[in-house]
Amino acid sequence: MKNSFESGGGNNIFEEREIQERKNMLALLNSYVDEHDLSVDDVELAYHIYLGATEAELGRVGEVSSEVYELTEVMKEYTEKHLPVSDIAQLIEGLRRKENSHIGLMNIISALPITEREKDVIASIPQDLRGGNLAILDESGNEVVVLKIKSTDESERKDLEIELSDRLSEYKDVVSAIQFEEM
């Protein structure tokens, strides 16, 4: 007979609650970073200090702001509430990726075997906050996939760049041409 506290393939209510609590703590951590206008480098610095590195070891003697130390305390508080340190590392990785989203997208676009005009069209989607359908075509001119892109606002530009980068990376080996229909 199955015990009511056994995990049923990830459906355990306690596991779900823990996952939600982790997401909430990461969202609060992210909000703290935004509210205090901290850079990714600041967050990474706070993370290293949290892990025990000194200003001297980091080559930052006298350069660490009070906000970075406050963030270190927030990290400590959340890890004491069972937020895995690896989640903080993943948050930093995500912030770094967001910070470099435009460069990442441009690198992916430049590597695609499509015309310069098509590359410009793709680049204009997040640049001009355009919405529509982006069809990825194979060598035969057949649609491989149609990406439905919602028109967005300035605050979501970097998220759009990341999503577009991810999706174009998925199809980079089959794309031969693109078509964009603005909506």
Q: What is the pLDDT of residues 20-30, one digit of tens each?
A: 888 888 888 98
Task: Select from 70, 99, 128 the last residue of a domain.
Answer: 99
Nearest to 94 by CA among 22, 40, 48: 40
Q: What are phi and psi of 144, to 5 degrees?
A: -85, -45
Same structural domain for residues 40 and 90? yes
pLDDT at position 6 over 60: no
Task: Select from 40, 67, 99 the last residue of a domain.
Answer: 99
Domain of 137 in residue numbering reads as 104-182
* 75 burial type by CB count under 10 A (0-12 exposed, 13-18 middle, 19+ buried): buried
Residue 14 CA to residue 134 CA, distance in Å, equals 41
Task: Select from 99, 123, 154 the last residue of a domain.
Answer: 99
What DSSP element (H or E) covers 167?
helix 157-170
Same structural domain for residues 130 and 177? yes
Same structural domain for residues 44 and 75? yes
Once rounded to an integer, what is the mean pLDDT over residues 5-26? 71
Residue type, 75: M
What per-residue confidence (pLDDT) applies to 133? 93
Q: pLDDT of 119-148, one tens digit each?
A: 999 999 999 999 999 999 999 989 889 999
Same structural domain for residues 81 and 144? no
Widest Cα–Cα separation across the chain: 65
Task: Provide the 3-class DSSP secondary structure of residue 178.
Answer: strand
Once rounded to an integer, what is the mean pLDDT over residues 35-51? 93
Domain tally for the chain? 2
Same structural domain for residues 115 and 80? no
